[in-house]
Amino acid sequence: MAPTTRFRAFTGLALAGTLAFSLVACSSGSDEPAASGDDGGELTTVGFVAVGPEGGWRTANEQNIQDAFSTENGFDLKYAPSSNGDQNSQITAFTSFIDEGVDAILLSATEATGWEDVLNRAQEAEIPVVLLDRGIEPNDESLYTSRIAPDNVGISASAAEWANEQFPDGANYVVLEGPPGLSVVNDRNKGWDEAVSDNLVKLESQSANWSTEEAKSVFETMLKANGNDIQLVFAQNDEMGLGAALAVEEAGLTPGTDVKIITIDGTQAALEALAAGRLSFVAEYNPLFGEDAIEVVNAALAGEDVESSIVVPSTTFDSPEAATAALPDRQY
Amino acid sequence: MSIPASRSSTAVRMVTGLFHQPYVWAIVALILLLIVNLTKNPGYLGVSVNPATGNLSGNVIDILRASAPIMMIAVGMTLVIATRGIDLSVGSVMAVAGAVSMEFMNNTGTGSFGTAIVAVLLALGISAVLGTLNGILVSIVGLQPFITTLVMMLAGRGLAKVITSGQNTSATNESFRWIANGTFLGFPVVFVIAVLIVAVLAALVRRTALGLMIESIGINPKAARMAGIRPVGILVSVYIVSAVLAGVAGIFSTASVMTVEVAKTGMTAEMDAILAVVIGGTSLAGGKFSLTGSIIGALLIATLDKTIVYMSIPSSATPAFKAIVIVIICLLQSPRVRSMFNRRRTRVIIAEKETVQA
Amino acid sequence: MATTAPAVTEPIVEMENISIEFPGVKALQNVNFRLFPGEVHTLMGENGAGKSTLIKALTGVYKIDSGTITVGGVQRRFAGTADAQNAGISTVYQEVNLCDNLTVGENVMLGHEIRGPIGINWRKTHEAAHEALIRLGLGDLDPRQPLSSISLALQQLVAISRAMVTDSTVLILDEPTSSLDANEVEGLFTVIRRLRDEGVAILFVSHFLDQVYAISDRLTVLRNGIVVGEHQTAELSRNQLISEMIGKDVETLNSLGSHRSRVVHSGGAPFYSAKDLTRKGSIEPVDIEVHAGEVVGLAGLLGSGRTELGRLIYGADKPDSGVVTIDGKTTDVTSPVGALAQKIAFSTENRRDEGIVGDLTVRENLVLAVQARRGWARPLSRKEQAAICDKYLTELNVRPADPERTVKNLSGGNQQKVLLGRWLATQPELLILDEPTRGIDVGAKAEIQETIVALADDGMSVIFISSELEEVVRLSERIIVLKDRRKIGEIVNGPLVTAESIVDLIASEGIVS
C-alpha cells in the first residue's frame, strides 16, 4: 500500500512541476506586452473580490495575493473583502469593478452558485475573470478565464490514503465539514470518499462551520453518541481539527493515540499541534499562489490561451518531525 | 381553573399554573427532544464521573455547558425586547469581548490568574462601552433600535477584526480556560456562573421595581412617561446589561477553545438569542417578559443543537430541522392557536359535565 | 340647475339604527342619518361623539353591529373602502393621501388611466385629468406638474377631483379645512358649492362653527354616540347648536345635587399660579391660579386649548415661557417627573394611549406613579402595594375589586377609576383631570364627580377639564373659558352661572372675530 501512495504523491508533484514549468514558459511569452505596459507607466488595475478574514489560511492567501499584485509588479490591486462571507456583498463588489472598468477581476467566491449573471456581464465588458481557490457551480468554464487552486479532491484523497495506511484493519471515523453547499466542502468530501477504503466506517458527518468552537462542541457530542468508539476524525480545515483535539482531551482521551485527527490547510497553528502530537496528519492546501495568478492575468490580458484549471502544488505532513522541520519557514 | 382551591393540592395548582405559562410548549418540546435522544440510547441522561479527568461527564452536562452563552445573551435580549427594542449586536459584542481578552492574554504572555482577571475586566468593560453607545443612540438620539444595533453589529465585528488584525488569535491561560472547561462541585463552571448571573439579574429586576418599569415602557411608553417614569436611564441600562452579558457569552465562547475566531465567534448568536426569547413566551412587541421562559428557550436551543449531532441528522438537513422545531413551538404559542386549544378544552370540559349530569 | 334647498327626493344615503360597540364603549347607539343629493350636510359633535365612527361605518372601515345602510335605494354592507368607492362614496381625509412623486394628472387619474393600443396613452390621460380639473374650476392647474410642487390646499382639491373622476355621488370631507388659511377655505368652498349644484351629496366634518354656518345646508349633531338633532342650518342658532353638542346629561344631573354649595376658597395665596404660560402652536399666554380646596374648570370647545393647558401645567408638554409659582416658590415644571415631585398629578383624556398600561394588572397600574416617584431601587413592599389597592379599590368602588386582574379587561369606567386611584395614591396637592368622565357609563360618571367634590373638600386643588359644560359648571368654583387656544374669560361660579353663560361667551366671541 505504502509504495503506491508515495508513487501517487510523486506523480502529483511531478505534474505540478510540469505545470509550473509550462507557466513559466507561458509568462516568458507574455513578457513583451507586459513590459510595454510598464513602459507607459500605466498600472494594470485588478479588482480582487475576496472572502475577507475567515481563518489563518484565508489570511495567508489573501495577503499573498495582495503582496504579489504590488505596484512594483505593475498592478493596482483593489481589495474588496466580503462582509462576513455574504455573497451579496461580493456580487456588489464584483459589479462595481465591472462598472469601474478594471482590467481584470480575481474572485474567491464565498458561495459556489449564483454567479452566472455577473460573470456574463464581465464577459460582455471583456474583463478576464480568474477564480482563486473557490470554484463556481455549475462549473461552466466558458464563463471565466481560469481557476487557480490547490486540488481539493487530490488533497483529501491523499489524506484518505494516509488513513487507509494507518488503519489497515479498519476503524470508525467521523467527518467535520465546512458549511454545506460550498464547492470546497463538496470537493474535499469527494476526494475522501473516493479514496477511503471500505473497512473504514463513516459514523457521521456534520458541519462545524469551519469553527474551532463549534467543532469542539460537535465532536464532544459525537464521542458521547458513539461511546468514545471513534478512532479517526477527518476535519476539513485546521480550525475544526484543533477543536476536535480539544474535545478529545476534554473527554479524557489522548489525541494521536485514542483518536487520530486529520486536517487540511496546514496553517502554523496546525503544524504546531502536529509537532506536539495533538494532530496526526496535516495536508497542506497551499495558499501561496500569487505569482501564478500574476502569470495568468498577464497572459489573459495579452490575449493568450490560458489553462482553464491550474492546480497549485501542495504537500502533506504526516509526523511531528515533518511538522517541526517545516515550522521555521511557515509563512502562515 | 374550575377546581376549588381547598380541594386542589399545591402540586396540582403548580402544574395548572405552569400550563398557563407561555413557555409550557418549550418545556414540552424540551422533554420530547430528550425522549428522542433516549430512543437512540437509553443511557442518554446518565451522568458519570470521567475516570481520566475526575469531572462529571454526560450529555446533560454538555447541554448545560453549551446553553450557558445562549442563556447570557437571551436574558439580556429579553430585557431589551421588553422595552420594545431589539439588540442585533450581541453576536458582534461577543466577538469583540473575545478578541480583547485573547489579544490581551496573547500579548502579555503570562498565564497568571491576574492576567485572566484583567482580560475578563477588559472584555466586560469594552462590552459595556458598546452597550452604552447603543443605549444612548436609542434613548437620547431616538434612533430605531433595529437600525442602531444593526450598525453596531457590523461595526462590532469590524472592531474585533481591527483588534486582532483580522487573525484568529489564541492564548494560553489556565485560569481563563477554566471558566469554560472547568467544573465546580462537578458542574461546569460556565453553567454555574450563568445561573448565578441570571439569579442576581432576576432578583434585581423582580425584587426591585425595575421589571415593572421596563414592562410599562414596553407596553405603553407614553403612559409610562405620564406616570413619571424616566425612560432614558432604563433604556440605557438595558442595552448596557445586554452588551455586558454578551461580553460574558463572548468570554465563555472563546475560553472554551482559547481562540477567538473573528469571523465565527458569536456569528448569528443574535438569532439564537431572539429565538430563545420568543420561545420563552416574551412577545417581540415588547411588554411583559419572562426571564424563566428565555432560560428555557436557551436550554431548548442548546438541546436542539446537540440532538442534531447526537441523532446524526445530515448537516445539510440541520437548518431545516431546526426551523421546523422552532416554527412548531412558535405556532403552538401564538395566542390564536392557544385560544383554539383553550376553546377545545372548555368544550371538552363542558361535554364532560353534561355527561355527568345526564 | 339644482337648487340649494335640500331636495325633497329620496335620500342617497340612509343609515338606520346603526349601533357599533367597542370594548367598554358604545360608540354609536341606534343612529339614524340621512344624506340627500345636492346638499352639504355637516356632522357636528365633540371629540368622541361618534363622528368619525359614523363615517367609518358608512365607508366600510368598521363593521356595524346592527342597523342598515341604504345607498341609492339599495341596501349595502361594505367590506371595505374599495367597496364603498365602487358604490360611489369617496372620502377625502385631512391628511391628503396622494402620491407626492407623481404628477397632478397622474394622481387625478390613478387607476383610471386611459389605455391605448400599447399601454397607457399619457397624452389622453392628462387631457382627461385636465377636464376633471376644469370641472372643479381648476383649469389653470397644469396636470403635468408634480404634485409636490403645489400647495397643500391645492392638493386637497386635486384629491377631490380624483374622487370625482370615479363618478362619486357622495363625497365625504373629513376636517378638510383644519390646515388651510381663510383664502384657501374660500377656494375649497367654491368647489364644494359647484359640486353640490351638480347634485353631489357632500358630507362635511369640521369643528369651526363659522365655516359650518357658511357652507352647510343641514347638520346632524352627535353626542356620546347618539344623534341629538338633525336641523336645517338656517333654523338653528349658534347657542342652540353648542348646547346640543355639549349637552345636558339629565340622569347625571339628577344623581348629583345642583351647584356646589361650598364656600369658595379662603382667599389666601394660591397653591398654584402661572403667569403667561405659553407654548407655541399649542396655547397663547394664559394666567391661571388655583387655591387649595378649589376646583377650577377649563371650558371650551374641542381644539380650544383646554387639554393643551392641562398638559402644559403638568409638564407633559414643555412650556416655552411663563412664571410658575407653587406653594409660594417660583419654580419650573418641564416634565411629568418634575410635576409629580411637586405634588401635581394629571389624568389624561386619552385613557388608552397615555393612561392605562393595558397588559399590567390593576395593582401594577395603581402603584405605577408612586413607584416611579420612589425610583426603581426602592420598591414598594407587597404590603404597601396591597394597602394602596385596598384603599382605592374600595374608595373608588372599582368593579371587579381584583387587584391581580389585567387592567385592559376592565370596563372604561373602571379603568378610569383605576387611573384616578393611581394619581390619588401619589397624594397630589393639585390634581388635573382631563375628561375624567368621557365615554363611561352614567353610574361611574356620578361616582367620579362625587369623588372630585370630596377631594376638594379635603383641601386638594383640582383643575377640571370637560367638554360637558354642565359638568364644569356643576363642579367648579371658577371657570376659565378658552377659545381658539386663547383664554377669553374667567367666570366666578354662582347661582346665576349656567352652561348658557359659557355658551354665550364662546358664541359671541366667535362672531366678532
How far apart CA B297 and CA C218 sit, in angstroms, is: 63
For A152-285+318-329, the fitting CATH number among 3.30.420.40, 3.40.50.2300, 1.10.240.10, 2.40.50.140 is: 3.40.50.2300
Q: Hey, which residues 80-109 in chain A have their CB within 8 Å of chain B? A: 83-85
CATH topology of domain A44-149+287-306: Rossmann fold (3.40.50)
* A180/B256 CB distance under 8 A: no
* Nearest-angstrom CA–CA distance, A145 and A297: 9
Interface residues of C toward B, Cβ cutoff 8 Å, are 316, 336-337, 339-340, 346, 348, 353-360, 364, 367-369, 371-380, 422
Strand order in the sheet with A75-81: A75-81, A44-50, A104-107, A129-132, A146-150, A309-312
Interface contact flag, A204 B312, Cβ < 8 Å: yes
Verify whether the Cβ–Cβ distance B62 to A213 is below 8 Å: no
SS3 assignment, position A305: coil
pLDDT score for A2 = 41
pLDDT for B18 equals 67
Domain B67-332: top CATH class: mainly alpha
DSSP B120-186: HHHHHHHHHHHHHHHHHIIIII---HHHHHHHHHHHHHHHHHHHTTTS-EE---HHHHHHHH-EETT
Closest chain B residue by Cα to residue A244: B257
Residue C370's alpha-carbon distances to A230, C317, C416, C427, C428, in angstroms, are 64, 21, 17, 9, 11
Q: Any idea which residue has 411663563 for its cell?
A: C322
Q: Is the pLDDT of residue C344 over 90?
A: yes
pLDDT in tens, A226-272: 989 999 999 999 999 999 999 999 899 999 999 999 999 988 899 99
| Cβ-defined contact of B222 to C336 (cutoff 8 Å) | no
| Cis ω before A138 (30° cut-off from 0) | yes
What residues contact residue C422 under an 8 Å CB cut-off, 6+ apart?
A: B227, C365, C366, C367, C368, C369, C370
Closest-CA distance, C279 to chain B, in angstroms, reads 18
Show residues of chain B in contact with C356, CB under 8 Å: 220, 223
Helix-, strand-, coil-residue percentages of chain B, each rounded to 5: 75, 5, 25
A contact chains, 3+ CB pairs < 8 A: B
- CATH code assigned to C252-343+428-512: 3.40.50.300
Distance from C-alpha of C18 to C-alpha of C20, rounded to nearest angstrom: 7
Dump pLDDT digits (tens) for C377-407: 899 999 999 999 999 999 888 878 889 989 9
Chain B: residue whose CA lies nearest to C378: B208
CA distance C387 to C247: 39
> What mean pLDDT is reported for chain B?
87
Neighbours of chain C (3+ CB pairs under 8 A): B
Q: For chain B, which residues make up each domain, given as ranges?
A: 67-332
pLDDT band at A171 (very low <50, low <70, confident <90, very high): very high
b/e sequence B101-124, b meaning 16+ C-beta within 10 Å? bbbbbbeeeeeeeebbeebbebbb
User: CB C369: neighbour CB atoms within 10 A?
Assistant: 24
Partner residue opposite B225 with nearest CB, options C336, C356, C422: C336
Instruction: Tell me the one-letter amino acid at B35.
Output: I
Parallel, antiparallel or unpaired: strands C89-92 and C283-290? unpaired
Alpha-carbon distance C47 to nearest alpha carbon in chain B (angstroms):
20
Contact list in B for residue C340 (CB cut-off 8 A) is: 228
CA atoms within 13 A on the CB side of A99: 6
Q: Which residues pair with C290 in a beta bridge?
A: C272
Separation CA C184–CA C32 (nearest Å): 33
Distance of residue C379 Cα from the nearest chain B Cα, in angstroms: 5
C403 neighbors C393 (Cβ within 8 angstroms) = yes
Answer positive or negative: Cα dihedral of C27, C32, C38, C41.
negative
Tell me whether the omega of the peptide bond preceding residue C400 falls within 30 degrees of 0, making it cis.
yes
Our CA-based measurement puts residue B44 at a distance from the nearest CA of chain A, in whole angstroms, of 8
Segment A5-31, tens digit of pLDDT: 444 444 444 444 444 444 433 443 334
Res C8: pLDDT: 55
| C-alpha cell of residue B265 | 465567534
- Which positions in chain A touch B312 (Cβ < 8 Å)? 203-204, 206, 225
**DSSP-assigned letter for residue C216:** -
- Burial group, residue C394, by CB count within 10 angstroms (0-12, 13-18, 19+): exposed
Chain B residues near any Cβ of chain A (below 8 Å): 40-41, 50-53, 57-59, 62, 66, 154, 157, 161, 166-168, 170, 181, 253-254, 256-257, 259, 261-265, 267, 305-306, 308-310, 312, 314-316, 318
Average pLDDT, chain C: 84
CB contact under 8 A, A83 and B306: no
DSSP string, C291-338: -TT-EEEEE--TTSSHHHHHHHHHTSS--SEEEEEETTEEE---SHHH
pLDDT at C443 over 70: no
For residue C425, what pLDDT is reported? Answer: 95
Q: Which three cell numbers stand for residue B247?
A: 461580553
The rounded distance, in Å, linking the Cα atoms of B149 and B137 is 9
Residue type, C194: R
Please judge whether C376 and B234 are an interchain contact, meaning their C-beta atoms are less than 8 angstroms apart: yes
Q: Is the pLDDT of residue C161 over 80?
A: yes
Task: Name the percent of chain C lying above pLDDT 90.
Answer: 34
Give the DSSP letter string of C117-144.
Answer: SSSB-HHHHHHHHHHHHHHTT-TTS-TT
Which pLDDT score, from 0 to 100, does residue C262 have? 53
Instruction: Give me B334's grid cell.
Output: 401564538
Residue with the three cell numbers 394602596: C388
Mapping DSSP to helix (H, G, I), strand (E, B) and coil, where does residue C346 land? strand
The alpha carbon of A133 is separated from its chain's Cα centroid by a whole number of angstroms, namely 5
Chain B contact present for A218, CB below 8 A: yes
Q: What does the alpha-carbon distance between residue A178 and residue A209 come to, in Å, rounded to a whole number?
A: 5
Report the pLDDT averaged over residues C427-435. Answer: 94
Highest mean pLDDT among A130-139, A321-330, B96-105, C101-110: B96-105
Q: Pick the residue from chain B with its C-alpha nearest to A52.
A: B166
Report residue B108: phi and psi, to 5°. -75, -30
Under 8 Å between Cβ of C233 and C218: yes
What SS3 class is residue B348? Answer: helix
Answer whether CATH 3.10.20.30 is correct for domain C13-251: no
Work out the mean pLDDT of chain A and round it to a whole number. Answer: 84
DSSP secondary structure code for residue C250 in this structure: H
Give the mean model confidence (pLDDT) for residues C51-80: 88
Q: Do A218 and B309 touch (CB under 8 A)?
A: yes
Q: Do B261 and A211 touch (CB under 8 A)?
A: yes
Distance from B312 to chain A by nearest Cα, in Å? 6
DSSP per-residue codes, B239-296: HHHHHHHHHHHHHHHHHHHTEE-TTTTTTTHHHHHHHHHHHTT--TT-SS--HHHHHH
Give the residue from chain A lying closest to B264, CA to CA. Answer: A211
> Grid coordinates in use for A269?
497553528
Distance, in angstroms, between C30 CA and closest chain B CA?
Answer: 32
Q: What is the Cα–Cα distance from A86 to A79, expressed in whole angstroms?
A: 16
> Nearest residue on chain B to C426, judged by CA atoms?
B227
Q: Where are the alpha helices (DSSP H) in chain A?
A: 2-29, 31-39, 56-68, 87-100, 116-124, 152-166, 183-195, 212-225, 238-250, 268-275, 290-301, 320-326
- Which of A57, A221, A236, A268 has the highest number of chain B CBs within 10 A, making it the mutation to test binding with B? A221
Residues from chain C that touch B219, judged by Cβ atoms under 8 A, are 357-360
CA distance linking residue C113 with residue C128, whole number of Å:
9
Can you read off the three cell numbers belonging to residue B233?
436611564
Least confident of A78-92, B332-346, C444-458: B332-346
B233 vs chain C: nearest CA distance in angstroms? 11
Q: Identify the CA nearest to C340 among candidates C433, C423, C278.
A: C423
C-alpha cell at C84: 364603498
Indicate yes or no: CB of B223 within 8 angstroms of CB of C359.
no
Q: Which of A118-127, A252-261, C252-261 has the lowest mean pLDDT?
A: C252-261
**C-alpha–C-alpha distance, residues B77 and B246, integer Å:** 9
Alpha carbons C377 and C367: distance in angstroms, whole number: 15
**Touch of A by C (3+ CB pairs closer than 8 Å):** no
- Location of each CATH 3.40.50.2300 domain in chain A: 44-149+287-306, 152-285+318-329
Does C259 have pLDDT greater than 60? no
Under a CB-based contact definition with an 8 Å cutoff, are residues A121 and A98 in contact? yes
C-alpha cell at A98: 465591472
Residues from chain A contacting residue B59 (CB–CB below 8 Å): 221, 224
Please state, in angstroms and rounded to a whole number, the distance separating the CA atoms of residues C513 and C208: 13
User: Which residues make up the CATH 3.40.50.300 domain(s) of chain C?
Assistant: 13-251, 252-343+428-512
Q: Do C372 and B223 touch (CB under 8 A)?
A: no
At B214, list the grid cell. Answer: 421596563
Asked if the model's pLDDT at residue C212 lies above 80, the reply is yes
So what's the pLDDT on residue C441? Answer: 63
In degrees, to the nearest 5, what angle opens at C-alpha C206 toward C-alphas C201 and C209?
Answer: 110
Q: Are A212 and B166 within 8 A, CB to CB?
A: no
B209, B222, B288 ranked by CB distance to C353: nearest? B222
Q: Which residues of chain B are modeled with pLDDT < 70?
A: 1-19, 335, 338-339, 341-358
Given an 8 Å threshold on Cβ–Cβ distance, is B312 in contact with A52?
A: no
Distance from CA of A18 to the nearest CA of B (A): 35
CA atoms of C43 and A53, how far apart (whole Å): 67
Using DSSP bridges, classify how beta strands C66-71 and C74-76 pair: parallel, antiparallel or unpaired. antiparallel
Contacts of A83 in chain B (CB under 8 A): 154
Ranking A157-161, C193-197, C499-503 by mean pLDDT, the lowest is C499-503
DSSP letters, A76-133, are: EEEEEE-STT-HHHHHHHHHHHHHHT-SEEEE--SSSSS-HHHHHHHHHTT--EEEES
